Amino acid sequence: MKNHFHVLIRIKNKTEIGYLDSRKSDSDDLFLKWKTCFSKQTDSNFNRKPTPSRQFQHLFNAYSRWFNIRHKRTGALFENTFERKLVDHRRYFQNMIVYIHQNPVRHGFAEHVLDYPWTSYLTILSDKSTKLKRKMVIGDFGNVENFNELHQDFQGDSCIEHLIIE
């Protein structure tokens, strides 16, 4: 949208991510040589991966630098820092998906969710290859028909108003 965006992401758990381990076998000699170049790094700091918040901070900073260079401008690109909420219930997940897809309609950029091409709504319904977890999303709604029905029957923000960050 013109002044904001919403992103719903799934953070992998520690076992899915994997962590660097300095206690690897001697066959990982290159890793050990590289690690010794950073003598100020402690083992606990070296083995820890950046948090999702830190990763998004890097992403937004890099995008801002690129945007400023491309458009020959300086200064902040984003007014505020990003905010996040833990989605810890299935119903909350469903409501957030529908809320994000309906956001352009809510703000008057489109009359129907199908009219706004920059959401994942059509991608989720498509058969085209995507990095989105389409099957997981549809699975949480039960099936495509329920997914569509909940989008059609969207009653506004009242059911999730207390959970929205604006």
20 pLDDT band, cuts 50/70/90, is low
Q: What stretch of H or E contains 29? A: helix 29-36
Average pLDDT value for residue range 15-43: 54
Q: Provide CB contacts within 8 A for 123, sequence distance 6+.
A: 130, 132, 134
The pTM is what?
A: 0.69
Summary mean pLDDT of the chain? 79
* Of 92, 89, 14, 1, residue with least CA distance to 47: 14
Average pLDDT value for residue range 22-32: 49
What per-residue confidence (pLDDT) applies to 85? 84
Chain center to CA of 9: 3
- Does 145 have pLDDT greater than 90? yes
The two tokens of residue 9 are: 């992401």
Average pLDDT value for residue range 8-25: 68
Average pLDDT value for residue range 95-120: 90
